[in-house]
Structure 1
Amino acid sequence: MSSFDIYQQTFLLTFVVEALQDTKAPLAVLQAEAQSMMPKLISNWGVGPWKIVWGPTVWKHTLEHDPKTGPDNTWFIARSNVLGQDTYVLAIAGSASTYDYIHDDFGIDSVVDFNAFVASYTVPPTTTPRDKVNDNGTAYVAYGTASASYTLLNVPAPVGAASAGLNIVQFLSTVSPSSQIVSAGHSLGAALAPTVAMVLKKAKQWNNLTVYATAGPTPGNGQFANQYYLAFPFIRPGPQPWQCWNKNICNSNDVVPQAWCTTAASNLKLANIVTIYQSAPALLRAVLEGIVAVAKALLVLSEISYAPIANVIFTSDDFVVPTTRAELDHMVGVQHHDAYFDFMKLPPSVSVKAIHALAAEHGLTVKTERERIADLPVFGLLKIFEQ
């Protein structure tokens, strides 16, 4: 038995799948370590009687030339009999490489017709020509979101991993309709989790799906957000604020979920990034203003207005105004990671630091704090500026 509720367990699985996100190694090393470290983290953290039944799968794009980077995508399916119901969690990791950032996180200037993608999700997505985009009448997602979703849906588990040779659609097709399937992720994973769930529900007509997303950037436009709301209505079975399904749980002091909406009336929007750090020194504000300005310029090219999916907002109580670039890096990380552990009332033994310690024990190189921050949505622009 676990001392954590199902929501906490699901959240922790989204960090188990991120065990390698802050490390650098060739693909073969990352895959081997994923198979070793992830079950160990589930046990060390006391997440519960979860067994990885598909994957884990670590994927790097062939255009990722640097062998010593983090993975582009990592995902697994874990199974448990929680509360007497057979439950599968599809855990999807966030950003971890330059390719991942530029193509998945920041692939926002081109869009994909979402329903067309659903109809042919086994084929790589194609972008809608800018002069053909109909923002008011068609659901669109960012090309980066669609491309990563295609990878997650179609790449099979490798030799040596659980259910090798099957992709997640093939594996989940064997699951009983009475089982619960949760698509879950943090950060970029929280943009991909609802998108993948939408594809599965529409393409396969599966009605046993729910979503658990935290700190996710916006996947697409208002039409997509509306379709998501209808397909995955808000469910709150418990009294605690984290005890809910189908909403993006966000810290108002976290820069990542502020991407990519530019609508002034929205509770999550790019302009908030500068507002969060408005009391910081002018040089730090200038960095943030520059990032936001470039993001807005790219968003104009998309021909859509990005609109957040349904969300739950909390405000962390550990925000400190940074005065140096190093302090800014640290605070961005605290608000994007640690604040969510605190919000869910998880013990100090369960943390990102524990992941880094285990990675070091396995002989892996852990990225510096600045490298980790530059892997995040929005802040990844710093990689381009500082190269």
Structure 2
Amino acid sequence: MTNPSLDAYQQVFGLACLANLAGNYNGSCSKLQEQLQYDLSFYFNNVPPVAAGHQKKPSIANPSVTPILGNWNLVWGPALIEETDENHQPTGVADNALYVVQCDAFAFPGGPILPVYVVAIAATNPASLYDWESEDFSVSEIVNWITYDPSEIITSDYNKNDPYISKGTATGIGILLGLTSPETAAAPGTTLQHFLTGLKPDTETGIIFCGHSLAGALSPALALYLQEQKQLEAFDISLVYSTAGPTPGEVNFANRFNNTFPALPSGWKSQQGDYQSWNTMHWNNFDVVPHAWQENDLEMIAGLYGQSPDPYTSGILKALRDFAIIDSMKSGAPYTMIRNQSLPGKLQNDGSSGKINIPPQSIYDYVSQLALQHTYLYYGRVASDETPAIEGIILSQPLPVPNTGLVNGVTRVTDEDTVLKIIDQIFQWIEAHIHLAEKQSIANESNG
């Protein structure tokens, strides 16, 4: 069999990107799950048939995919969750998603060729207020890693000695561990833990956890949790490939992860590319998201694309920076990146809906640049009549687009929708902080 054109790191990153497909749609939980499974049938073998595609038997990966991505079999999931909003109504979006695939012969650069399992975790869904509020931005409270119970999130004060993670990271891991593969999916009725602990490989086998954005924080934390719970004992090699993630925890947690998951397994040869390293969080230096939540990195976000000449825009960006720093410091814990590698990004002038001004002359400019830097700069954009191509810094161009249609009851989200949703989420977050500050000021005056 011909080796895929993507190297091992790129394949795993591609698998992480595919976990994000559910974020491209709106619909009910069951319909979104069916849509994700339908889309994955284009890329993987053995995806159980879905009614929407009139499929009668498990999938065979599209022949346009395997020469690029390699041969992968779906073995668990996909599973996802649709949360409810403050009015107890379904959000209509996939708030978290997860699947597991397996390859019989995976060539590790500078290492062996082994069977491998990959746990792929979905990124932040820009349309999910739950993702933003309860996972990404929930950093002012922390959870002691030593006593952490994913089924019951209990925050505590920082004691400087134990490792701690953000409440948002703790919440996200709990959600992922609580997912059950649907009856119509692979390994139905099992959780990820039950599935992994039930595996009994008869040869040396590896496992890799991967994810982008929110999942760039969740994938190393989930891998560490399962490793310390002795639930990865079926595997001879356990690795993480995370990208564009916010900081999941403080300095003791970062050291604990780095010590448990070394930069290179013993006896393997290191690779030369910036993106070619395991157990390392890779990030584009123009991506806002990985600048959270270390204080010195947060200081940079308002001017990351140059100082805005517009006073209103400049004020909003400074408020975003200042409130983010306040939230980070309120935890009392020094948020610290795990082992990481910056990648050379490039500012873009062409967004999905027109020109982007550099420096930003509006919030729309800033968020359009942010959206490009957080997505296409990692995996590329194909040229269209409206926009030029973008060469990605991990994948030079995107994976082939699935030829699957839309499941009945599902609608597609556009790039424009995504930018507008991010702007709305940022404004809501700032307004909430202003309201909280006003309440605290009133309370202080009353007590005075």
TM-score w.r.t. the length of structure 1 is: 0.87
Q: Give unmatched runs, 5+ long, in structure 1.
A: none
Equivalent of 1:72, from 95, 101, 123? 95
Structure 1 position 155, deviation (Å): 2.1
CA shift in 2, pair 1:158/1:205, >3 Å: closer
Cα gap change, 1:245/1:280 in structure 2, threshold over 3 Å: closer, same or farther?
Answer: same
| 1:109-128 matches, cutoff 5 A | 109-117=140-148, 120-121=149-150, 123-128=151-156
Deviation digits for residues 272-295 of structure 1 (CA, Å, limit 9, x no counterpart): 212312333333332221112222
Matched-pair contact (CA < 8 Å) for 1:45–1:349: no
Task: Name 2:369's counterpart in structure 1.
Answer: 331
59-68 vs 283-292, which moves further: 59-68
Residue 237 of structure 1 corresponds to 270
Q: Deviations over 1:26-61 (max 9, x none)?
A: 111101111111231454544211111100001123
Aligned to 1:274: 302
Relative to 1, partners in 2 of residues 1:108 and 1:166: Cα closer, same or farther, differing over 3 Å?
same
Contact 2:77–2:182 (Cα < 8 Å) also in 1: yes
Runs (5+) with no aligned partner, structure 2: 45-61, 108-112, 350-357, 380-390, 433-448
SS at match of 2:147: helix
**Which deviations, in whole Å up to 9, do the C-alpha atoms of 1:94-117 show, x marking residues without a partner?**
112111211011111111111211
Separation of aligned partners in 1, 2:22 and 2:177: 20
- Give, as a single letter, the amino acid of the residue that structure 2 aligns with 1:251: N
Question: Which among 21, 26, 29 is matched to residue 28 of structure 2?
Answer: 26
How many residues end up aligned between the 2 structures?
Answer: 371
Q: Which residue of 2 aligns with 1:257?
A: 290
What residue is the counterpart of 2:196 in the other structure? 172
- Per the alignment, residue 293 of structure 1 pairs with 322
Note closer, same or farther for the CA distance 1:239–1:300 as it changes in structure 2 (3 Å cut). Answer: closer
Q: Is the contact made by 1:330 and 1:369 (CA closer than 8 Å) also made in structure 2?
A: no
Shift of 1:6: 1.1
Deviation at 1:302, TM superposition (A): 1.4
* Higher relative contact order, structure no. (Cα contacts within 8 Å, ≥ 6 residues apart): 1
- Alpha-carbon distance in 1 for matches of 2:424, 2:373: 13
Judged with a 3 Å threshold, the aligned counterparts in structure 2 of structure 1 residues 379 and 112 are, in CA distance, closer, same or farther, namely farther
Measured against aligned partners, the alpha-carbon deviations of 1:166-200 in whole angstroms (never above 9, x if no partner) come to: 11111111333821110100000100000000001
Identity %: 27
1:319-346 residue CA offsets vs partner (Å, 9 max, x unmatched): 4423333332221111111111234453
C-alpha distance in structure 2 between counterparts of 1:25 and 1:188, whole Å: 21
Listed as ranges, the matches of 1:1-387 within 5 Å are: 1-41=3-43, 43=62, 45-46=65-66, 47-63=69-85, 65-67=88-90, 69-81=92-104, 82-83=106-107, 84-96=113-125, 97-117=128-148, 120-121=149-150, 123-128=151-156, 130=157, 133-134=158-159, 136-175=160-199, 176=201, 178-204=204-230, 206=232, 208-235=237-264, 237-262=270-295, 264=296, 269-282=297-310, 283-320=312-349, 321=358, 322-341=360-379, 342-344=391-393, 346-350=395-399, 354=401, 364-369=410-415, 371-373=417-419, 380-384=425-429
| Inter-CA distance 374–384: structure 2 relative to 1 (3 Å threshold) | farther
Larger-Rg structure: 2
CA distance in 1, matches of 2:344, 2:168: 29
- Name the CA distance, whole Å, in 1 between partners of 2:429 and 2:89: 15
RMSD between superposed Cα atoms in Å: 2.6
Residues 289-321 of structure 1: per-residue CA shift (max 9 Å, x gap):
111222222223312121111100112134442
My pick for the range that moved more, 322-331 or 32-41, is: 322-331
Cα distance change on mapping 1:359 and 1:22 into 2, 3 Å: farther
